[in-house]
């Protein structure tokens, strides 16, 4: 069983700050912010919520909605008044976005090639909070042929930041957490939980390369981009970030990890 490691004060046991690529044998990677962008899905969802909430309340203004959006993302307060992002409008909008998941997906440039390169040298799996439709995108991009396992919160029943999702994947594959590298874009949801298990961690910050889906209200886009910048601060986890390897994107990380590393013998992919 994978054990969570904590200090007496409750903080996870971490390793010295990483300045070079760690020696790892297996790799787990997040999807959103690593393989494809999260933002197009969020914007499509917000636009759908705005439209549905506007139908229910014709007096709803974009200013009121974006204020509620800010509270939703930054405070995670449970809203009861319109537009209520936790309301039925939010649930209905999410269902519509899931139906369009493959069409909305925008891959991070170079991520697929980087994944293939990593898989030539080490077994790779996906560990992510994503809807089941994520697998459709991974199959369409050819990513699944390079993956030993796809562990999603919606299918496993455990969601990050619970370390159990990564722990489940590690146990399924028979990996050693001490020689596993978790790759993600969030210190709080990716690095910190992995460090609780004693795994190595790497954080990527791909340059903004996504486009807003068609039909998104320009005022909503402006407000979203402001909240997105603020949300990065909310998600900060200095301890986890300081003890992680940092790379621009998956392609940058792949270059560091595979430099002079021998290619591995391919093994059967677990489905």
CATH of the domain at 214: 3.40.50.1000
Task: Give Cα separations from 204 to 42, 44, 60 (angstroms).
Answer: 20, 24, 38
For residue 54, being part of any structural domain is answered with yes
- How many domains in the chain? 1
For residue 18, being part of any structural domain is answered with no
Residue 24 has, within 13 A of its CA and on its CB side, a CA count of 31
Buried b (16+ CB within 10 A) or exposed e, 60-76: bebeebbebbbebbeee
Instruction: Specify the pLDDT at position 232.
Output: 77
Boundaries of domain holding 106: 26-74+85-259
Give the whole-angstrom CA distance, residue 186 versus residue 188: 5
For residue 108, being part of any structural domain is answered with yes
Instruction: Specify the pLDDT at position 75.
Output: 72
Instruction: Specify the pLDDT at position 22.
Output: 63
Residue 68: closest CA among 48, 50, 55, 44: 50
According to DSSP, the residues that pair with 124 across neighbouring strands are: 27
For residue 104, being part of any structural domain is answered with yes
Instruction: Specify the pLDDT at position 237.
Output: 76
For residue 67, being part of any structural domain is answered with yes
For residue 63, being part of any structural domain is answered with yes
The H-or-E segment that residue 90 falls in is helix 88-99
Q: What is the dihedral of CA 226, 230, 232, 234, to 10 degrees?
A: -150
Going from the first residue of the chain to its last (271 residues), give the mean pLDDT of each consecutive group of 10, the final group possibly shorter: 46 48 88 97 97 92 93 63 66 96 97 97 98 98 98 98 98 98 95 97 92 98 93 77 93 88 47 39
Asked if 153 contacts 165 with a C-beta cutoff of 8 angstroms, the reply is yes
For residue 201, being part of any structural domain is answered with yes
For residue 100, being part of any structural domain is answered with yes
Provide the angle, in degrees to the nearest 10, between the axes of the packed helices 39-56 and 62-74. Answer: 130
């Amino acid at each position: 069983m994978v054990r969570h490691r904590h200090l007496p004060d409750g903080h996870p046991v971490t390793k010295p700050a990483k300045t070079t690529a760690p020696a790892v044998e297996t790799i787990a990677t997040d999807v959103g912010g690593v393989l494809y962008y999260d933002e197009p899905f969020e914007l499509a969802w917000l636009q759908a919520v705005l439209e549905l909430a506007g139908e229910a309340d014709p007096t709803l203004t974009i200013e009121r909605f974006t204020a509620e959006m800010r509270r939703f993302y930054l405070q995670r307060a449970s809203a009861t008044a319109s537009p209520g992002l936790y309301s039925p409008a939010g649930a209905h909008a999410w269902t519509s976005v899931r139906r369009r998941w493959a069409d909305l997906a925008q891959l991070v440039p170079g991520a697929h090639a980087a994944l293939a390169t990593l898989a030539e040298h080490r077994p790779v799996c996906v560990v992510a909070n994503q809807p089941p439709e994520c697998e459709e995108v991974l199959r369409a991009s050819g990513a699944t042929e390079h993956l030993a396992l796809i562990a999603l919160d919606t299918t496993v029943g455990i969601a990050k930041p619970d370390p159990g999702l990564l722990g489940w994947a590690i146990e399924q594959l028979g990996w050693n957490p001490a020689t596993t590298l978790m790759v993600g874009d969030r210190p709080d949801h990716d690095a910190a939980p992995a460090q609780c298990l004693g795994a190595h961690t790497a954080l990527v910050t791909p340059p903004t390369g996504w486009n807003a889906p068609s039909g998104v209200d320009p005022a909503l886009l402006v407000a979203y981009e402001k909240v997105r910048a603020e949300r990065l601060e909310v998600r900060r986890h200095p301890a986890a970030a300081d003890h992680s390897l940092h790379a621009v994107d998956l392609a940058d990380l792949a270059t560091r990890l595979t430099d002079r590393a021998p290619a591995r013998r391919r093994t059967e992919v677990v489905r």
